[in-house]
Structure 1
Amino acid sequence: MSETRKQGAGRPAAVPLALWAAVAAVVLAGLNLRAGATSVGPVLAELQAGLGMDSAQAGVLTALPGLTFAVVGSVAVLLARRAGSNLTITVGLAVVAAGLLLRSMVDSTVLFLLLTVLAFAGMAVGNILVPAFIKRHGGARIALLNSVYGTTLALSATLPLLIVAPLAASGEDGWQLSLRVWGLAAAVAVLPWALVSFQGRRSAGRAGVADAGAGPGRRRRGRAHISSSRTPVALCVYFGVQSMHAYVQFGWAAQIYRDAGLTQSQAGLAVAVLAALGIPGGLIMPSLVARARGLGFYITGLAACTAAGYLGLLLAPTQAPWLWAVLLGLGGFAFPTALALLTARSRDPQITAELSGFCQPVGYLLAAAGPFAIGALHQATGSWTAPLIILIAASAVMAAAGIAAAAPRFVDDQLAPAPAR
């Protein structure tokens, strides 16, 4: 049996979308799953002044993306089972739009934080379910859609870093405008996604198959829980450690550079270079995951780049700051690699959704805890030496987990019930 036929075995019928519709849906979703979170950092000081937010509350605000993505992401699959994946993503985008728009209009710190949680909850749903959408509607275009998704996520994280500051400088309430624009962007995505959801349900009904817009059904009786399979566990660790690296870098790399002697603008530019490399990473890695016969070399190389970047920051941070930023950015190719493995190591869209719902919440918990732990260690030791050594060691853990996760086997096979004797 060919590999293509093997991968299709047991997969539920799906009603394909036109390529343009699938790409548009993925782009509209991806553009709204990061911008609402990264748009806060550049105007945090103005936001604190405008709302009277103290440092402790600002610290809570910076931890909310990882925590909310983890908590709400863990129940996204359950929501999709009731309402359908496409409809759940649509509602999630509406929640993102409402949360981001309303928080830009309030003058209460508590309300601002609560509405931020609401917006991040909608993003968390998309984080989990968009990979399942790609698996269900991708067909032979899965690598393309994964590339589109990874690149769009990188753009969503990077664009606010370029746009927010000029918007915030436009007037007295500029910081509110700079936050409101991302709510408007999410609102624009709701109607097209509602049409995708409606089309999927109508087409599935005509074809007499299970609703193509529906989320994964109930777990088959007798099938093992996903946590009992070695590939999901390895992918969970890989996703988690690479997420921790990313959030540590976005949170602390600029300060490491500044403590070493770089100016604020030089440090900011170095981190911008690091973040911008996520765009080519999103383009390259999904196709590589889909086509390469073995991924161990690439996964090890990405982890080595990460370790080398940290080593440069430890030993010679000001001698070649751009080189260390580029190395860390190349190591960040691990993120689109992890996303692509969610679809590459599963056949059934239901399994893809369960795999995503298992791996991503753990990843975002580490993403929330990592920057806090690294910052606490720096404060306790008064130096970046111990934190950077720990991060170098974590790069080795990331490599080992990635090699295990990328082994050419399918989670579906590992979860299948044992045949009756």
Structure 2
Amino acid sequence: MHTPPSDDLATPETAASAPRPAEPGGPRRAASPWRGRVMAAGLMLAALNLRPAVTSLGPLLEEVRDDLGMSGTVAGVLTSVPPACFALFGLAAPRLARRWGPGAIVCAGLAAIATGLLLRPFAGGTVVFLAASALALAGIAVSNILMPVIVKRWFPDRVGAMTGLYSMGLSLGTAAAAAATVPMTDALGGSWRSGLGVWALLAAVALVPWLFLARTGASGTEASGTDAGGTDADTDDAPAPAPAAAPAMRITRSPLAWAMAVFFGFQATAAYISMGWMPQIFRDAGVSASTSGLLLAVMMAMGVPLAFVLPRIAARLRHQGVLVVVLGVFGLTGYAGLWLAPAEGAWAWAVLLGIANCAFPLALTMIGMRTRTHAGVVRLSAFAQSVGYLLSIPGPLLVGVLYQHSGGWGQPLALMAGFMVPQIVAGVLAGRDRHIEDEG
């Protein structure tokens, strides 16, 4: 049985949006405005590093498999590692932050990313490659959890603006790694080891401001948005205080919470299948490796504008099920196109599937709309994401198994399209105008 996460397990999204108890005397002002600017630069640089470990591998997966003797099933395990690490290591982040401070843990996370990416090119076998990847992904998991916590604490008057900057950096790093890995590999001599290892340099650069922030005790209670360069006009981004009463029922007994978890899990499944396998699908259809990377970059880049648009639309609707259905139709159309004409309509399918993958920001928005209290937000977000990421682990693995045993992409694409059905059903149920507190 799944043990419900405790209320102190803040997640990336609730940390950025949920109000925190006021500290004695309120937040202290920064000694100098430039420290806030260093923090803003650190956030942007860290966000750029939270996906390249995943999306840089997809375009070179064929070369990695051939060199390391990796079967399709093992490659499926590799593509399942990211959500597994996010589900497992992410749960430890809040406790580590209480012990050492969020700035120090983000710094350690970036060091783990840099180390893992640096070690991957030296792997002589699959086990070492998986271990190095897991190290990098563990660093991503804790950083992904705690960076929005720091946004809330350091920029309380500019939460919207700084979260937007962080989200933009996340999407930009995702797309850049997918698009640039193959060209950089060619420029560095054609070895996948160089093409993957070069991303350790970006993580090392991001580590510099966090070393300073960790040394100066950047717990996030020292600055405000105004000190960091904000203005009074930015105060509209700060969330209004919410009641702190806990939900009357256990989260595991909430049908709404389970609907949210299933919806989150299947949209995560689609995302990690896309990041891990989509370049290989295009390459097997005759598309070049560099173009396959660009196609993945297009899919990931769709999240940059839509991550700002979808939450605004969702907030104006009483029932978000219509958006769930629309995104699902885009996904089903994209999978059908990949099955019928993968190379001829490659760019169109990439756009359609990129739009479908924007179920992620919609899921985050719905989590906030399905609760009335601060404690409810924390519980629902922690439960939906931890259970959701666990549910997403088998998907990429099953795709790899079907690909190896069928020798083509017909059955895997049918599975991907099949996953879209429970995603739509669960999303429609989760999109109803109700709150988990009312289910008690």
TM-score category by the smaller chain?
Answer: 0.7 to 0.9
**Could you report, residue by residue, the CA deviation over 1:285-306 in whole angstroms, capped at 9, with x for unpaired residues?**
3444456565333222111211
1:75-154 paired onto structure 2 within 5 Å = 75-104=92-121, 110-134=127-151, 139=156, 141-154=158-171
SS in structure 2 at match of 1:370: helix
* 2:359 paired residue among 317, 325, 334: 334
Matches within 5 A, 1:12-31: 12-13=21-22, 15=27, 23-31=40-48
1:373–1:35 CA distance, 2 compared to 1 (3 A): same
Residue type of the alignment partner of 2:70: S
Shift of residue 93, structure 1, vs aligned partner:
2.1
1:3 matched residue in structure 2 = none
Give yes or no for contact 1:147–1:287 (8 Å, CA) kept in 2.
Answer: no
Q: Note closer, same or farther for the CA distance 1:348–1:194 as it changes in structure 2 (3 Å cut).
A: farther
Q: What corresponds to 1:67 in structure 2? A: 84
1:277 pairs with 2:302: yes
Q: What is the DSSP-based 3-state SS (H/G/I as helix, E as strand, rest coil) of the residue aligned with 2:68?
A: coil
- Of 364-373 and 299-308, the range deviating more from structure 2: 364-373
CA RMSD of aligned residues (A): 4.1
Look up the match of 2:273: 248
SS at match of 1:203: coil
Which letter does structure 1 place at the counterpart of 2:141?
Answer: A
- Identify which of 320, 328, 338 aligns with 1:313: 338
The size of the alignment, in residue pairs, is: 391
| Inter-CA distance 241–20: structure 2 relative to 1 (3 Å threshold) | farther
Q: Is the 8 A contact 2:76 2:400 kept in 1?
A: no
Distance 1:378 1:263 in 2: 18
Q: Is the 8 A contact 2:76 2:396 kept in 1?
A: no
TM-fit CA distance, 1:340: 4.1
Check whether the contact 2:86–2:137 (CA below 8 A) recurs between aligned residues: yes
Contact 1:143–1:290 (CA under 8 A) maintained in structure 2: no
Q: Of residues 43, 46, 55 in structure 1, which corresponds to 2:70?
A: 55
Q: 1:303 aligns with which of 318, 328, 333?
A: 328
Whether the 8 Å CA contact 1:135–1:349 is kept in 2: the answer is: no
Per-residue Cα deviation, 1:44-80 (whole angstroms, up to 9, x for no partner): 455567xx62214655544432332232224334434
Distance of 2:220 and 2:250 partners within structure 1: 29
Tell me, in whole angstroms, the C-alpha distance in 1 between the residues paired with 2:152 and 2:318: 20
Superposed counterparts of 1:96-245, under 5 Å: 96-104=113-121, 110-134=127-151, 139=156, 141-171=158-188, 175-193=192-210, 198-200=217-219, 203=222, 224-245=249-270
Offset at 1:275?
2.9
Which is worse superposed, 222-231 or 147-156?
222-231
1:143–1:287 CA contact under 8 A, matched in 2: no
* Partner Cα separation in structure 2 for residue 35 and residue 396 of structure 1: 29
- Distance apart, 1:343 and its partner CA: 5.2
- Note the C-alpha offset of 1:153: 2.1
Decide whether the 8 Å contact of 2:111 with 2:204 is kept in 1: yes
Letter in 1 for 2:107: T
Does the 8 Å CA contact 1:131/1:352 hold for their aligned counterparts?
no
Q: CA deviation at 1:329?
A: 1.4
Q: Which moved more, 1:8-17 or 1:67-76?
A: 8-17
Match of 1:374 in 2: 399
2-structure distance, mates of 1:374, 1:9:
37
Q: 1:409 to 1:151 in 2, by over 3 A?
A: farther
Structure 2 distance, partners of 1:222, 1:349, is 9
Alignment pair present for 1:264 and 2:288: yes
Distance 1:75 1:335 in 2: 22
Segments of structure 1 that go 5 or more residues without pairing to the other structure are: 1-7, 205-218
Give TM-score scaled by structure 1 length.
0.74
Distance 1:196 1:287, change over 3 A: farther
Change (3 A) 1:45 1:399: closer
Secondary structure at the counterpart of residue 222 of structure 2:
helix
- C-alpha separation in 1, matches of 2:429 and 2:38: 35
Check conservation: 2:113, 2:203, Cα contact below 8 A: yes
Q: 1:237 to 1:132 in 2, by over 3 A?
A: farther
